[in-house]
A and B are shown apart, each in its own frame.
Chain A
Amino acid sequence: MLGFMKKKETRVYKERDSSNQREKKDFEALRISGKLKPKAWFQFIIKLFNLIMKNYKLMIRSKTSALIFFFGPLLIVFLLGIGFNNSSLNGINIATYSDSYSPLSESLMGNLSDNQFNIIKTNSEDACVNSVKFESNHICLVFPGNMVLDNTGNNNIDIYVDNSRLNLANQITEKLASKVSLKSSELSFGMVSQILGAVDEINKEAVSGATYLEGMENNYKTSKSKVVSTLSDFDTFDLDYSILDMNPALNEVEDVRETENLSDTDVKGIIDELNNIKLSYNSLAGKLDEASSQLGDMESSVTSLAGSIDSNKANIDALKVGNTKIKTTINTIKITNVDSIVSPIGTVIKPLSLKKNYLIYTFPTLLVLLIMFVSLLMSSISIIREKKSMAYFRNFITPTFEGWFLIGQFLTDISIIFVQLVIILGVASIFLTDLPWQVYIIGGSILLLLASIFILIGLILGYMFNSEESVTTGAVSVGLVFLLFSNAILPVESLTGFLRGMVFYNPFVLGESILKRLILFETNFSSIFEPLYLLLIWFGVVLIGAIVVKVTSRRLRSSYH
């Protein structure tokens, strides 16, 4: 030890603790001999703490860094929370055009006009379409001229949308289609109700006609039986008679007269009476003949009547068959509900998650996006700032394993992300009250794992580049690659085979997938194992990568210094 400093050091020791003079005297000797040397693990902890505290101080004292890395993400989430905390689109301008607006098209437009949609009539179809192209309006509807409900069937509405604003276009067309469809359904409902009313009336009449036919059939049966009975009654009539022969009686009278010698006068009365009887008999016989003839006529009439009745029966039967057919046909119409006929196949979109606002749907993506960019930029820029720092060189000439600087920077960055996550998820829990607390714990852990991956990637970039501009560009580019090859902007299904396969290993996609499962679908923990394993593999790979790049970058730097 140098004389001057040694004397001073001894004096300081003495001043500090006069009660332990002997110990103080031996202190230097013990320290030099290494007996007072802290254990390696303790040194490691102390060094790490020292590195982290230094990083914190540098970050906090650099006002721009503190502002960007501490408050920037919180501000973003705050603004997003305020901005997207609703469930509908707002201020959508719909341009319309028609050669001649009809009550039907006006009615449809009235249906669309509410707080969500502003209807703006344009003077021509081109003006309508151009207003969408130049973004003054969001969608253009062209109604056919004199749009009416008739048999011409020219009721197509042309919808022009800007597909470059894919998400918005889809949402608007979906909402628009649902509103137009609602009006269309209203119209169909009226028409089908009318038809169904008529069919129902026919059905009722058929039922009522069947009753009449039943009565007619019964009447037929009665009549028929009566006719048959009458005809059988005819058979019971016996109008036969025998010829009355008065001659034996006259002969007897003659015999008696002769026997009795009676005069003709005496018997004349008898004979006259007999003749009168004969005359009466003959007259009666004639009447019987006439009655018999009339009975025969009647019988033939009744027989004819029976035939007529039988022919009516056939008509009744035919009517019955017709009536039954009508009823059967009507009964084959199984769906008599107007709604079911207007929309025979209903599509009810049932969201997998019934959340109240847009924020919750985008929350997992936003969280991952935020964590990704903050982690990438914070870690990479921190490394560059450290490399550009005047003190960077001195770190390397200390007996400190280089990996500790990497670990120290990693722990600093992850602890900042941790604090941010606690605040973000804490605030989120106020709005998303229906999420169980386990989701916050598991989701937060997943986000920390994800942040670790992106921090390590940022560290790799930081060690690779040598200026803040290039590392910022690099970090943003890497972030954009992860973002573009995810579902956040375009559906991954639109990618080609190879890339599509790769996308599912994108840490952004994996993290987003896990958070969606947890936050939106509230699935159980076991369902996130697979993407979680992949994220752990990512962590291992980038950790090794960071160490390799850290060591290699120093070698490269030293080689070209």
Chain B
Amino acid sequence: MGESKEVLLFIDNLIKKFGKKLILDRINLTINNGEFFGIVGLSGSGKTTLLNILVGFWDPTIGKITYDGKDIKKNRNFYKAKFGFATQAGSVYPKLTVEENLRYFGRLFNMRGEDIKIRTEILLDLVELTGANKVLADELSTGMQRRLDIACALIHNPKILIMDEPTEDLDPVLRKELLGLLRKINDEGMTIIMTSHILNDLETVCDRIAILHNGYVIDVDSPDGLKDKYSKNEEIHLTSSPGNYESILKKLEKADISKSVIKRNRMILYTPKSEKLLNLLLKVLSASKERIVNLKVTKPSMEEVFEAVTKR
């Protein structure tokens, strides 16, 4: 996590309309230097539009974005170089090699050949593609392609790396690897703005998360802050044998349970009074001759928070 807290990017009352359709409504966001900032929202909530405006692909209808206190619209090309962008689909030429892709985009950022060579060497090392520099992009594995995309986004040494759903379509192992890489990049001081549907990913890496719903930012806070704010519940996860969860639930009718979910071989109970419920549950389990396989108490997940926020 970056230590510096000075404001790097400020999105001020931004509105974006396509025709008469309002896509983004009075967005106000502050992103600090070195921060890992997450944006979460349903499909069509305006996440990608917001990112596209940040990188200068589209102009806002109303509002402004300042970088280091300066309006980026006034010198768009200069500020374009401050952003690196990696998309969920990957944004590289499949028929160019890893090195060619990096060189091509480096040139578009007005980089000198020597600088590109140095940056390429560093980035390939960083994203662990050193041995694959002569391989065509479409011959890389999915994880490697995603890492190449990040390398391309970083070739010009931007200040802010913007990631649009980077873990989408990745298996858990690759996702973990990629998040580790992003964390590593962020630890080096790079400001990262990332959107994702996978809330656990954001929760894992983000310093702060903005919840975007119907083009409007509902809230911005740290994952724990959001959890505290939007859910007083804790979660009790139970796996028992033989696992007569319906019967257990009946016996807990009088307990303070906000919500219960039975998923195959486990049951999740949401309660604002976890300690009291846990005592009761242990008694019921003993009486029901249920053998505890796994029992844990956790804070609410981001999914629950998101669900709670968007249902408001």
Q: Which residues of A contact B (CB under 8 A)?
A: 1-5, 8-9, 12-13, 16, 31, 36-38, 43, 46-47, 50, 54, 57-58, 61-62, 389-400, 558-561
Contact = CB atoms under 8 A, between A and B. Distances in A.
Interface of B: 18-19, 49, 55-58, 76-78, 80-81, 83, 85, 87, 89-96, 100-101, 103-105, 107-110, 112, 115, 118-119, 121-123, 125-126, 136, 152-153, 157, 184-185, 187-190
A401 to B, nearest CB: 8
A9 B91 contact: no
A54 B96 contact: yes
Contacts of A54: 93, 96, 100, 104
A38 B110 contact: yes
Given A47-B107, A50-B104, A399-B78, A390 B157 contact: no
B119 A9 contact: yes
B93 A58 contact: yes
Contacts of A560: 18-19
Contacts of B187: 4
Contact of B83 (A47, A391, A397): A397
A560 B189 CA distance: 36
Which of B19, B49, B105 has most chain A Cβ within 10 Å? B105
Nearest to A391: B93
B266 to A, nearest CB: 40
A13 B122 CA distance: 11
Query: Which 9 A-B pairs have CB atoms at the shortest separation, nearest pair first?
Result: A399-B77, A398-B108, A2-B188, A50-B107, A394-B91, A4-B188, A61-B95, A397-B55, A399-B80
Contacts of B101: 391
Contacts of A391: 91-93, 101
Which of B58, B81, B108, B185 has most chain A Cβ within 10 Å? B108
Contacts of B121: 12
Contact of B126 (A5, A47, A390, A395): A5
22 contacts: A5-B123, A5-B157, A9-B118, A9-B122, A47-B110, A54-B96, A54-B100, A57-B95, A57-B100, A58-B93, A389-B94, A390-B90, A390-B94, A391-B91, A393-B85, A394-B152, A394-B153, A397-B55, A398-B108, A399-B81, A399-B110, A559-B19
Interface of chain A: mostly helix, strand, loop or mixed: helix
Given A62-B95, A393-B91, 20 more contacts: A1-B157, A4-B187, A5-B188, A8-B122, A9-B122, A12-B122, A31-B112, A31-B115, A38-B112, A58-B95, A390-B89, A390-B91, A390-B93, A390-B94, A397-B57, A397-B85, A398-B80, A398-B108, A399-B108, A559-B18
A385 to B, nearest CB: 10
Contacts of A395: 108
Given A43-B110, A46-B107, A559-B19, A393 B136 contact: no
Given A9-B118, A12-B121, A46-B107, A397 B100 contact: no
Contacts of B119: 9
A12 B123 CA distance: 12
Contacts of A392: 91
Nearest to A395: B108
Given A394-B105, A558-B57, A559-B18, A3 B96 contact: no
A431 to B, nearest CB: 37
Nearest to A54: B104
Contacts of B18: 558-561
B144 to A, nearest CB: 15
Contacts of A38: 110, 112
Given A38-B112, A389-B93, A399-B77, A8 B105 contact: no
A390 B152 CA distance: 13
A393 B103 CA distance: 17
A58 B136 CA distance: 11
Contacts of B125: 8
B98 to A, nearest CB: 13
A104 to B, nearest CB: 72
Which of A2, A8, A31, A400 has most chain B Cβ within 10 Å? A2
A13 B108 contact: no
Contact of A394 (B85, B103, B185, B188): B85
Contacts of A3: 188-189
B59 to A, nearest CB: 9
Which of A13, A47, A395, A396 has most chain B Cβ within 10 Å? A396
A308 B51 CA distance: 138
A2 B91 contact: no
B91 A57 contact: no
Given A5-B126, A31-B115, A399-B77, A57 B96 contact: yes
Contacts of A394: 85, 91-92, 105, 152-153
Contact of B105 (A12, A389, A398): A398
A2 B90 contact: no
A258 B97 CA distance: 191
Nearest to A558: B58
B43 to A, nearest CB: 14
Contacts of B92: 390-391, 394
Nearest to A398: B108
B93 A398 contact: no
Nearest to B104: A54
B135 to A, nearest CB: 13
Contacts of B108: 47, 50, 395, 398-400
A61 B100 CA distance: 13
Given A8-B125, A61-B95, A397 B112 contact: no
Contacts of A57: 95-96, 100
A395 B80 CA distance: 11
Nearest to A16: B118
A358 B57 CA distance: 55
Which of B105, B107, B157, B184 has most chain A Cβ within 10 Å? B107
Contacts of A2: 157, 185, 188-190
A76 to B, nearest CB: 26
Which of A16, A46, A399, A400 has most chain B Cβ within 10 Å? A399
Contacts of A561: 18, 49
B92 to A, nearest CB: 5
B115 to A, nearest CB: 7
Which of A43, A398, A560 has most chain B Cβ within 10 Å? A398
A46 B118 CA distance: 18
A325 to B, nearest CB: 98
B96 A58 contact: yes
Contacts of A46: 107
Contacts of B184: 4
Nearest to A10: B118
